[in-house]
Amino acid sequence: MNSRHLSETEIEQYFEQGYLLLPDLIALEALARYDKRFVAFATGECEPASQMNIMRDIMVVKGAIEPETPLHAVNKMFSFENDPLLYGYALEPKLLGTVRSLLGDDIYSLATNVFNKPPGIDGRHPLHQDLRYFRVRPADKIVGVWTAMLPATRETGCLAVIPGSHKGELLEHAEPDWEYVNRAFFGIENIDLDRRVHIEMEPGDTLLLHPLLVHGSGRNRSQSFRRAISVHYAAGDCESPVREWRQGKQIRHID
């Protein structure tokens, strides 16, 4: 299968801006398989794989809304490493080629997620830095990948980033002062929102994200779902070795 490696210009852009958008990186046929598998788990058609977690949206949990279907109740699914079909995304040759262009050949997957933003639910994700959720360092040896499974537009609640914000430090995070905030969705206060750049994406488009880049997403104001699949990778030679953080975590070495 064909791989995909980043050019010097793309690598420079990633480290200058903190992100890089790669159109059409993942084939639509593969995305359809991943999407169908996620829906099967989210609707209860399939039993979750070992250590997989399916998180219901806080508005559903608190009874603020009655979901139309089981799929409308799900905010995200994480830790899908033990499902071979979904984990196939983390092993996509083109995806691995781009990640290895930044981290080198020896890499681990740190975390896996499918983000589901149903219509009729707040679903905002406050502006944050992914490094807050990881213990491995340094930040330059970690990269997140985020592939749109369904259209991500301003209307459906696409990602917004603050270019260059990865050049600073890990900022203080707190739970936003919102009526409904999903579990573990922490955010950064006092951010200049005028600096945001909204990244609209079509299915198969993939965003590479530096773990210190400030980013988040807004409400879904449409009548459609917004869905994306994501993995974080770390280089095997991190100064805080991945191997020392493996106990109890779904961390996989990628051959």
- Domains and their CATH numbers in the chain: 15-254 (2.60.120.620)
Condensed to tens digits (0 to 9), the pLDDT of residues 145-202 reads 999 999 999 999 999 999 999 999 999 999 998 889 898 899 998 889 999 999 999 9
Residue 80 pLDDT > 70: yes
- Cβ neighbourhood burial of 127 (10 Å; 0-12, 13-18, 19+): buried
pLDDT digits over 208-255, tens only? 999 999 999 999 999 999 999 999 999 999 876 555 555 446 788 898
Say what percent of the chain tops pLDDT 70: 95
Q: What is the pLDDT of residue 255?
A: 83
Q: pTM value?
A: 0.95
**Side chain identity at 122, as an amino acid letter?**
D
Q: Which two tokens stand for residue 82?
A: 């033990």
Q: Is the pLDDT of residue 1 over 60?
A: no
The CA distance from 23 to 202, in Å, is 8
Per the prediction, the chain carries an average pLDDT of 94
The pLDDT of residue 184 is 85
pLDDT score at 245? 55
